[in-house]
Structures are given as structure tokens and as C-alpha cells.
Amino acid sequence: MTFLPKDPNSMRTPTVILAVVGIAACSAATPDQAPAQTPQNRQANMVIATGCFWCTESDFDKVPGVLATTSGYIGGNTANPTYEQVSAGGTGHIEAVRVIYDPSRVSYATLARHALRTSDPTDGGGQFCDRGDQYRPAIFFGDASERKTAVAATAEAAKALGKPIATDILPRTRFFSAEGYHQNYYTKNPLRYRYYRLSCGRDARIKELWG
């Protein structure tokens, strides 16, 4: 299937990317490094995937203690992947979001739990209307402590739902920021974003699962 360049002002669909005349060219994703931690600048970061990164950004920006979010790609073998490459599948990347947070206000454990409760962790084939490995849910860890925390969060979710959890727990690898028009899409295009989220059935499924 051929995937056409995505218009920053178009609605997202699970199976095809629409092109609009006059679309501005977008640059390829570039590797992005999180800010270093210092005593004067207490920041930590994690990467999570809950399907559409527009929605993930929106969900995590609402969490007290989250300082910034960046949509991007992680886990694949292609250098500087583009949205068209990742969404078409085959690069090994997952749509994900890097979350910068203040660990004195919110913990990795709380954010991992939030990822599970703002997604369908029982579905490993994608999320909601977005299908394929590139949309599968995942929590990434940077060390053994974070891995242990993520495992505990998924075990808690399995107990709460009474179902197996399909959310992957994966070592954190190189993260590439997505093209600029994807960043904060939900604030730049609120009407289109809300229509996409509603038509994709995300909130309805989350309510069905989690109440």
C-alpha cells in the first residue's frame, strides 16, 4: 500500500494518510536527547507508547509534574525515520512519546500506571483504530529499577482487569522526534483532533475497560 504525505491539517485515519494540495514539506525525524539532570534542574524522562502519539501527548500533558512531551519513534533499525515510513510499517519503530517530568512531583511508577489506564493494554496488535506493530502499546525502561517498576504496574493492571496484559516492556533505545506538525497536534488542531479521537473510539474503549 502506498502512503502519501500527511497533511498537518488533515484528520488521521488508521489505514491511509490523506494528501491535501499545498501541503508543506516536512523534514525527517531527528534523534533527540533529553535534558541532563542537575541539582538545579531536576528532570527525569521516560518513553511510553499508547497508540496515536497525538493522544498520548494530550493524556500525559494533563498529569501534574509532567513538564514536556515530545512525539516520536523508537525501537526500529531505520535511521532518521519519517512518519510515512513508520506508519507504513516495516521499520520496527513504534509511535511513542518522550515524557519529561519532575520526579519530586510525579514518579515513573505513576506514569507507567497512567500509560496503562489511558490505553487498551490487552491489545497488542495496535491501539483502537490504529492497527499494526507500530501502534502497539509499550513502556520503555532505562535500568533494572524501572523495568521492575513497569513489570509491577502491568501485573497490577492484569489483576484489575482480570485479563492478560499485552503492553510490552522494552529497553529504551534511541528516540527520534517526529516531524514538527505532529508536536502538540491536539492544541494546534483541536477540532480535527477531537473528531479523530472520537471516531477512533479511544475514550469509549478506555471507559469500557477501566470504567
- Residues ≥6 apart with Cβ < 8 Å to 160: none
What single letter denotes the amino acid at residue 196? Y
What single letter denotes the amino acid at residue 208? E
Which residues partner with 171 through β-bridges? 141
The DSSP result for 102-162, as a single string, is -TTTS-HHHHHHHHHHTS-TT--SEETTEESGGG--EEEESSHHHHHHHHHHHHHHHHHHT
How far is CA 47 from each of CA 87, 96, 122, 146, 177, rounded to the nearest angstrom?
18, 7, 19, 11, 12
Catalytic residue chosen out of the listed positions 26, 52, 55, 129: 52
Element (H, E) at 170: strand 168-171
Respond yes or no: is residue 52 known to be catalytic.
yes
Greatest Cα pair distance, the chain, in angstroms, is 50
How far is CA 80 from each of CA 28, 75, 90, 125, rounded to the nearest angstrom?
6, 12, 14, 24
Residues assigned a catalytic role: 52
